[in-house]
Structure 1
Amino acid sequence: MRKVRAVLVSAVMVLGVSLTIGATPAHAERLVGVFRDYSECQRIGSHGVTQGWWDSYSCKWEGRYRYYFLYA
């Protein structure tokens, strides 16, 4: 019974670690720039795509800072 319990506990631990590692996003967004105007954020974001610096981007308004944050 102890051997079965030890094997079962080990299997559960390995499963938990593998699920934690698998939950990490493959393409995590990183902050690339901060802009006052949405159009400037869009311009730099699309420029980065054409230059091959990143595959996609998003401009997000942060009201408490009153700036657009460019994530890629």
Structure 2
Amino acid sequence: MRKVRAVLVTAVVVLGTSLTIGATPAQADGERVAGIFRYEPDCERVGTQGVNQDWWNDYECEWEGRYRYFFLYA
């Protein structure tokens, strides 16, 4: 019974995470979500690193209040 419960809990967590990720806001101008961060300095650091590594040309860190996270759009 413990193993079954552990498997069910894991499945529920994975399903909840996938639904949350699928509900991220979309940008109208075609930018994609390149990261989700709790703190703005982390978002800015990764955005700058992406520009320096030629992963993207530009980026924007936006606070999404309904999710309470910073979204990195690139």
On whether the aligned pair clears a TM of 0.5, the verdict is yes
Q: Which consecutive unaligned segments of at least 5 residues does structure 1 have? A: 1-24
2: distance between equivalents of 1:30 and 1:62? Answer: 15
Aligned pair count reads 46
TM-score for the superposition, normalised by structure 1? 0.62
Q: Percent identity among equivalent residues?
A: 57
Q: Which structure 2 segments of 5+ residues have no match?
A: 1-28
Pair member with larger Rg: 1
User: What is the CA deviation profile of residues 7-61 of structure 1, one whole-angstrom value per residue up to 9, with x for unaligned ones?
Assistant: xxxxxxxxxxxxxxxxxx5xx2000000000000000000000000000000000
In 2: Cα distance, 1:67 partner to 1:35 partner: 6
TM-score scaled by structure 2?
Answer: 0.60
